[in-house]
Amino acid sequence: MSAGAAMDAPYFERLYAHSPDPWRFEGSWYEARKRALVLASLPRQRYGAAFEPACANGGLTAPLAARCDRLLACDTAAPAVHTTRERLAGQAHVECMQAWLPEQWPHGRRFDLVVLSEFLYYLAPPALDGLLHALRASLLPHGTVLACHWRHPIPDCALDGDAVHTRLHAGLALPRVLEVRDVDFRLDVWCAEPSAAGLEHRLE
């Protein structure tokens, strides 16, 4: 088990051993609606370099790829990485790797978009703080961070989605440009740039 982590890598491998879609993403209207809201919440139409940790089966990775010049996706579970690679086969600008975060964060790479979806509560607070430190070092000055997490309690997790987002807001020290509190999930966007409308007018 990783120091400070609430769940270890074998936990996720066991989930995929029982089902190729352990969170039942496929065919779920709840998940489809949430993905649409996530994509619509991104303030810029296109990003140069994006990072999606915990990509699972690539359901969000695929539409994100259409908005990015380069996209790095990762997951700790080998079956998830395999499924995402298959889903994104032929898209040379997408890279998918197996990694355990925050220890294997892609240090040295810079991103203008980081998408944190449904996984930070699997980290205990010290590990989450380590991930935040790595994220801040990797985020370009004009970068965007989007986070979306389940709001209900999760067994064996120290934090729920609201607590995760409270910690993110304090640790990122960036303006929060969007905040959605659905009954089931929390969606927040942080960005140092002006509003989408302001940016569009600035480029005219």
Q: Using an 8 Å Cβ cutoff, are 56 and 23 in contact?
A: yes
CATH topology of domain 9-203: Rossmann fold (3.40.50)
pLDDT reading at 203 higher than 70: no
Quote the pLDDT of residue 194.
62
Quote the pLDDT of residue 77.
87
pLDDT-derived band at 4 (thresholds 50, 70, 90) equals: very low
pLDDT reading at 71 higher than 60: yes
Domain extents for the chain?
9-203
pLDDT reading at 199 higher than 70: no
pLDDT reading at 3 higher than 60: no
Each residue's pLDDT tens digit, 117-172: 988 988 888 999 999 999 999 999 999 999 999 998 887 788 889 999 999 999 99
Q: What is the pTM of this model?
A: 0.87
SS3 of residue 113 by DSSP:
strand
Quote the pLDDT of residue 122.
87
- Rounded CA gap, 45 and 66, in Å? 10
